[in-house]
Chains A and B, each alone.
Chain A
Amino acid sequence: MNTIIFSALWGVLMMYVGFIVKKQKSATAFAIVGLIVLLVVNWLEYAGVSIFSIDLQGMLRYNRLSLVFNLVIIFSTLVYFLLSGSDIEKFGKSSSDYYALIFFILTGISIIAGFQSLLMLFIGIEIISIPLYILAGSEKNNLKSNEAALKYFLMGAFSTGIMLMGIAFLYGDAGTFYLEGINLGLGKITPMLAVGMVLLMAAMSFKVSAAPFHFWTPDVYDGTPTVFTSFMATIVKAAGFFAFFRLFENAFGNLHADWEILIAVIATLTLIIGNVTAVFQQSIKRMLSYSSIAQAGFMLLGVFALNIFAKQGLVLYFAAYSLATLGIFAVLAKFKDHSIEAFNGFAKQYPLIGFSMLICILSLAGIPLTAGFFAKYYMLIAVIKYGKMFWLVIVGILCAAISVYYYFKLVQAIYFKEAAQREEVVFTRSFELIMLANAILIIILGIHPNWLMALLYM
């Protein structure tokens, strides 16, 4: 609850800051302060101190998982601002508008973190989506950016429509919007319920770009300015997954055995399509958008298993995936040419950044000693513990093997190829240090993931 109000407030403040403060740098600083405030109030709530008490009729409820999820989200956003703040400043006249939009997205995510009612789910997702459409089109003079925004908007509106229809069906069947109410009423599947559930599943798959609803992703990610792609592909995606997980755990948990096969099929398709297509990409940005689809496939395994390991694993996965992807995108945003060849010999020119990127890539590929290994590992364990469909584990592992191929093409370019001609970019010392800190954090999580996951039980 704290974070919802503070993030909304800070969003409004951010807009006024645009009038008062003329220097872009101070807007970034103000945004970073805002995130630190959010971290503090979220921590306070975690410690049991609620600043506001509002009777919500049980429509929102925050448990340990929600708050730890919020923590991961806010922290990732902080990393994002620290790394990409200077690039956000380059857009438009006033970067504070964009910061304000991002704070509003955080409001939506905080609602998602605690929703107990389908209405809240809908509101949360809309609050996330609408600012995103603006961000996607923020490069107004670029045709691709406009196309991305329109495509994203149409697809988003379409999937929201499907979601609303699903909610309507569920309401018609159960007579309530409350997740528990729906879950309790689930004795056996009625046609209406089944239709509602499948529609919701499709809508959620749209939001997290799971196959076969993933077609918008590469174009939108590619067209959106790289700074904002980074935010979309990580933090927003994690929010989508959290909603997916919470919805299916709390509303359809009793029907787990009935829908598990659907999710299993979606996960398999997503894994295979994402990984195989990523192999053929020449542009890093497109490769990363397919890789984000592939990673979504892994996270879907958590939704499939729906047990305690999936919960822990998803939180770890959000952190591992977000940190790694943010790191790579932050570097990518500084360059115009995103082809893999453009990064040949990168590490020779920028050893520190090259090393940090390497750790990020290894983490995405799921190599031991990085957070990504345990993230994937927990997903597999979750499926194993669930005890059905062992073949999903095998699919997952084979796809991880494929992913190594394309991730390592990037490693080869960065480290082993002869240096290529590329634009002169000067990285500031602070950027280098934050990248390095990010890499070290990934390694720490890779050695001792329990430090994060223990938060769920403290």
Chain B
Amino acid sequence: MFAAFDNFPSLLIWLPLVAGVLSFFIKKEGAPRNISLLSSILSLAIVIASLLFSGQQHSALNQVSYIWIPDLGSSFGFILDGLTKILCLLTAIVFPLVLLIINKDEYKNSNAFYGLLMLTQCGLMGVFMATDALVFYFFWELALIPVYFLSSIWGGEKRIKATFKFFIYTFIGSLFLLIGILYLYLKTPHQSFNLAAFYNLRLSAPEQHWLFFLFFIAFAIKMPIFPLHTWQPDAYEQAPKPVTMIMSSIMVKMGVFGLIRWLLPLFPLAIKDYNTGIILLITVGMIYASLIAIYQDSIKRLIAYSSIAHIGLMAAGIFSLTEVALEGVILQMFNHGINIVALWIAADFLEKQTGVTKISQLGGVAQKAPKLTIFLVIAAMANIALPLTNAFVGEFTIFNGLYKFNPWLAALAGVSIILSAVYTLNMIKNIFYGELVPATTDVKDIGRTHILVFSIITLLVFVVGIYPSPIFKIIQESTAMVLNKYGSL
């Protein structure tokens, strides 16, 4: 009966693609927005259906593959397994939320704007589901290009420079990735790009060492990991808000995802050698980013640096090579994606209301906008991983694994969590409490759309925070496989 669900993966690619191309050609006011919204809600429905109907048979049902370029041994292969399902779910949830909070006439040439947004979604879904390295690379770039245009056309004052920096960073990273992929392709017995063929490779230790860096740099730039993070605050600050949300919530996960799906299973020998050093680097970066975040006066930059710290924790969890941490990381990817969207929406709302982006120029918003305050405080609590919230489950699990790996490093990483409480609570205090200032005297509370969006996010925060086991069950579909090469080492 559910044979039609075979095509889950390809539908998730086609839907946004068609919607995107369609919106480009529709000049009618408001229509592109509706098309995008419809397509993103349909995507969500498809992802949920795939979660419901294909649990038992595991991934066999959710795999498709079309022959693409036979001479090169490449085929359009997609899969929906545990890891992918979580990320697709995140993508499918975040897109409608982001689309909902965009005002009707906020952006000129809205047809191109929505078209590019939908193409981004198509690229992201492709990255998460690809089982073929060439297809993976293809979508990896495809997700980047629309974002480049979105930010450069509709971004802030310094958009061109900031976005170009972002573009060049990631593009160079992805070229490294391409070199690595080509080398591995050459090594496969029948010269194919298939993921399974890559997994079966037996690479010597020196090979693994330099290949590791090719892949790692590409993913590290995307996440970003200190010291490759310098593009991020500028890009987040200059990009239009919906794009910033997509970037910080989903696009950075491409890097984390890459580590789990590609790096970890491919280069076990190299990772065994490097992981302690990399975790140390990451934890230093986390503390560094958190310290900078404390001194930020711009809300956007604060969120950007906080994101570096949180993503760093995920990367550290991955390199701890424990199954517990890995499960935590995958869950946390989802949680972070949801929570950070809430922070951005609030920041966006405040900016539109007051015209101010500096924390020091705001104050007393709670008196004027109590609803916003409640929602944002919840999101902030989730951001610093208070118990009962989703991030607590995720980060606790990561720390659990990290502690097993090395208690000292875990303690060091823990410092950044404490620091994150410092800057997040500071921000809440300065913006929402205290005296009203000139900029905030006319603030109105959030409207119905925002209440809806925030309620969905809050619901997710608590549901995952209190009852995470169904999600863990999905995650476990794929975590064991990722680490099975490490058992014998």
Q: Is A453 among interface residues, defined by CB-CB distance under 8 A?
A: yes
Chain A residues with CB below 8 A from B168, complex form: 401, 404-405
Q: Is A394 among interface residues, defined by CB-CB distance under 8 A?
A: yes
Which residue from A312, A368, A397, A448 sits with its C-beta under 8 Å from B138? A368
Shortest beta-carbon distance from A410 to chain B in Å: 13
Cα–Cα distance between A416 and B172 once the two chains are bound (Å) = 22
Q: Is B186 among interface residues, defined by CB-CB distance under 8 A?
A: yes
Q: Is A380 among interface residues, defined by CB-CB distance under 8 A?
A: yes
- Cβ-defined contact, B175 with A416, below 8 A: no
- Cβ-defined contact, A381 with B152, below 8 A: no
Task: Tell me whether A453 and B153 are in contact in the complex, defined as CB-CB below 8 angstroms, given that A380-B182, A394-B179, A397-B179 are known contacts.
Answer: no
Chain B residues with CB below 8 A from A449, complex form: 69
- Cβ-defined contact, A393 with B172, below 8 A: no
- Cβ-defined contact, A397 with B175, below 8 A: yes
Chain A residues with CB below 8 A from B182, complex form: 380-381, 384, 393
Cα–Cα distance between A32 and B141 once the two chains are bound (Å) = 38
Q: Is A398 among interface residues, defined by CB-CB distance under 8 A?
A: yes
Residue from B71, B141, B176 having most chain A Cβ neighbours under 10 A: B71
- Cβ-defined contact, A368 with B185, below 8 A: no
- Cβ-defined contact, A416 with B71, below 8 A: no
- Cβ-defined contact, B142 with A369, below 8 A: yes
Chain A residues with CB below 8 A from B152, complex form: 412, 415-416
| Interface bin, chain A | 20 to 34
Q: Is A450 among interface residues, defined by CB-CB distance under 8 A?
A: yes
Cα–Cα distance between A380 and B134 once the two chains are bound (Å) = 13
A389-403 contact mask (Cβ, 8 Å, vs B): 1 or 0: 010011001101100
Q: What residue of chain B has the Cβ atom nearest to residue A399's Cβ?
A: B175
- Cβ-defined contact, B71 with A369, below 8 A: no
Shortest beta-carbon distance from B66 to chain A in Å: 11
Q: What residue of chain B has the Cβ atom nearest to residue A394's Cβ?
A: B179
- Cβ-defined contact, A367 with B71, below 8 A: no
Q: Is A64 among interface residues, defined by CB-CB distance under 8 A?
A: no
- Cβ-defined contact, A416 with B141, below 8 A: no
- Cβ-defined contact, B175 with A412, below 8 A: no
- Cβ-defined contact, B175 with A393, below 8 A: no
Q: Is A215 among interface residues, defined by CB-CB distance under 8 A?
A: no
Q: Is B310 among interface residues, defined by CB-CB distance under 8 A?
A: no
Per the 8 Å Cβ criterion, residues 53-104 of B in contact with A are 68-72
Cα–Cα distance between A415 and B149 once the two chains are bound (Å) = 9
Task: Tell me whether A408 and B167 are in contact in the complex, defined as CB-CB below 8 angstroms, given that A312-B71, A367-B145, A449-B69 are known contacts.
Answer: yes
Chain A residues with CB below 8 A from B178, complex form: 397
Task: Tell me whether A404 and B160 are in contact in the complex, defined as CB-CB below 8 angstroms, given that A312-B71, A367-B145 are known contacts.
Answer: no
Which residue from B69, B138, B164 sits with its C-beta under 8 Å from A450? B69
Q: Is B433 among interface residues, defined by CB-CB distance under 8 A?
A: no
Cα–Cα distance between A78 and B191 once the two chains are bound (Å) = 38
Which residue from B138, B172, B175, B179 sits with its C-beta under 8 Å from A369? B138
Offer 26 A-B interface pairs, CB within 8 angstroms, sorted by A: A309-B71, A312-B71, A362-B145, A368-B142, A369-B138, A369-B145, A381-B72, A384-B182, A384-B183, A385-B186, A394-B179, A397-B175, A397-B176, A397-B179, A398-B175, A401-B168, A404-B167, A405-B168, A412-B152, A415-B152, A415-B153, A416-B153, A416-B160, A417-B160, A450-B69, A453-B71
Q: Which 8 A-B pairs have the closest CB atoms?
A: A368-B141, A416-B152, A397-B175, A368-B138, A384-B186, A401-B172, A401-B175, A416-B160
